[in-house]
Amino acid sequence: MAATRAPRDDRIELRATKEEKRLLAKAAAYERIVLSERDTARVLELLENPPEPTPALMAAARRS
């Protein structure tokens, strides 16, 4: 079943510094990540059965 899409008739305009534009482009790149079937299964497995935190992770959590 194909999803229906709303028409794109709204517009956003803004002025940004080069650094702000770079940051927005980088953030937009994270908007959608496509995983293979194998990787999807691995992510779901890790969500359902997370590993024990490593000493390095525990130390990083204490620093933040």
Q: Does 8 reside within a domain?
A: no
Please write the tens of the pLDDT for every residue from 22-59: 999 999 888 778 899 999 999 999 999 999 999 999 99
* Token representation of residue 54: 């490593």
Domain count of the fold of the chain: 1
Of 61, 63, 41, 44, which Cα lies nearest the Cα of 53?
Answer: 61
Expressed as residue numbers, the domain containing 33 is 19-51
Q: Does 9 reside within a domain?
A: no
Q: Does 30 reside within a domain?
A: yes
**Banded pLDDT at 64 (limits 50, 70, 90):** confident
User: How many other CB atoms are found less than 10 A from the CB of residue 25?
Assistant: 9
Q: Does 44 reside within a domain?
A: yes
